[in-house]
Chains A and B, each alone.
Chain A
Amino acid sequence: AQKITQTQPGMFVQEKEAVTLDCTYDTSDQSYGLFWYKQPSSGEMIFLIYQGSYDEQNATEGRYSLNFQKARKSANLVISASQLGDSAMYFCAMREATSGTYKYIFGTGTRLKVLA
């Protein structure tokens, strides 16, 4: 069954340093999408970055990049130059096709705390 695993319940990073949040996935589909979302303490879910299974280059969006290693089935999020506002919960998700319809499955999340 398709599954997303985030093994880091919580992480700390010093301001201005880079941090990597881990995500591994399991799927038998050839075509899938991988996503990262941020949830600050205010509760809203914010889309950060997307990687398609056929994309040959790693996705980047500003300070966010996705380290996609297809053979290892990993899709780690890298945040460069961490800021205090990056403190939040981060969720990895995968879009899967089931009987011609699309569902998203989520990991359990990683809580990131940026230290001043």
Chain B
Amino acid sequence: DAGITQSPRHKVTETGTPVTLRCHQTENHRYMYWYRQDPGHGLRLIHYSYGVKDTDKGEVSDGYSVSRSKTEDFLLTLESATSSQTSVYFCAISGTLAGRQETQYFGPGTRLLVL
């Protein structure tokens, strides 16, 4: 299994509070991604990173910021959480694992509920 962890796995928070989700990899891969998954929308890219301190926006980046100060960690911050940000958040890395095809490998997901 790819060495990708996400923390926390579940979080309940209140509208207007900041929230930070952490993605940690042990694979030393350059690319890391944050997605949100909502019914009927599949996975939508929030932000991604192609190296330390190198990040770019995805299709649903409003209300989110990211940081990557070291290769293994990619943080997603909801600056002021809203109920529309209630979702399942997945982190992914992109690369080749154990000689297999280069693809994305996903973390276990974080369920976020904003009340």
**Which residues in A have some Cβ–Cβ distance to B below 8 Å?**
6, 35, 37, 43-45, 47, 50, 91, 93, 101-109
**What interface size band does chain B fall in?**
20 to 34
> A24 to B97, alpha carbons, bound, how many Å?
27
Evaluate contact between A107 and B103: CB separation under 8 angstroms.
no
* Inter-chain contacts of A104 with B (CB < 8 A): 33, 45, 92, 94, 104
* Distance in Å: Cβ of B68 to nearest Cβ of chain A: 13
* Distance in Å: Cβ of B35 to nearest Cβ of chain A: 8
Q: Mark B32-60, 1 if CB is under 8 A from A, else 0.
A: 01010000111111001010000010100
7 more contacts with CB within 8 A, not counting A35-B104, A50-B103, are A35-B103, A45-B43, A45-B92, A50-B101, A91-B42, A101-B31, A103-B58
> A9 to B45, alpha carbons, bound, how many Å?
20
* Inter-chain contacts of B48 with A (CB < 8 A): 101, 103
**Which residues in B have some Cβ–Cβ distance to A below 8 Å?**
31, 33, 35, 40-45, 48, 50, 56, 58, 88, 90, 92, 94, 101-106, 108-109
* Inter-chain contacts of B108 with A (CB < 8 A): 43-44
